[in-house]
């Protein structure tokens, strides 16, 4: 029984050593790199390369282009930083339509069921 326990613990130790060797921070002392997937950041990443680009490097190079006044002409800077929606001062802006799942009137019955 002890031999079996030792062999199981040895196998576990070997498995832990192999897993530790596969880590990104295995060769780095005093460093711990989190390998967890960040769900919030994942919404901003693309699965592939967008249409006009043929490689990942091209796409990343286009994102690195600065938008500031110092690096672009005045006209291009204004077009790059212009708001998507513009209105005249004093104009009434209609509220955004509430999605049916977020409508508080329809969800009121759900809240009452819990009490």
* Percent residues over pLDDT 90 in the chain: 40
Question: Residue 109 pLDDT more than 70?
Answer: no
C-alpha span between 74 and 91 (Å, rounded): 28
Q: Are residues 61 and 42 in the same domain?
A: yes
Q: Are residues 28 and 3 in the same domain?
A: yes
Angle at 10 between CA 5 and CA 15, to 5 degrees: 125
Instruction: For residue 44, give its domain range.
Output: 38-80
Q: Are residues 28 and 48 in the same domain?
A: no
Joined tokens for residue 55: 């490689």
pLDDT at 13: 92
Question: Residue 111 pLDDT more than 70?
Answer: no
pTM over 0.75: no
- Does residue 105 lie in a domain region? no
Query: Are 87 and 93 spatial neighbours (Cβ–Cβ below 8 Å)?
Result: yes
Residue-averaged pLDDT of the chain:
84
Question: Residue 44 pLDDT more than 80?
Answer: yes
- Total structural domains in the chain? 2
C-alpha span between 5 and 11 (Å, rounded): 10
């Amino acid at each position: 029984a002890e031999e079996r326990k030792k062999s199981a613990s040895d196998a576990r130790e070997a498995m832990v050593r192999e897993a530790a060797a596969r880590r990104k921070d295995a060769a780095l002392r005093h460093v711990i790199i989190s390998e967890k997937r960040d769900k919030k950041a994942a919404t901003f990443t693309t699965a592939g390369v967008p249409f006009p680009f043929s490689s990942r490097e091209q796409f990343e190079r286009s994102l690195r282009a600065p938008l500031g006044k110092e690096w672009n002409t005045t006209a291009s800077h204004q077009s790059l930083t212009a708001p998507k929606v513009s209105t005249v001062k004093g104009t009434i802006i209609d509220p955004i339509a509430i999605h049916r799942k977020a409508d508080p009137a329809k969800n009121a019955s759900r809240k009452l069921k819990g009490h």
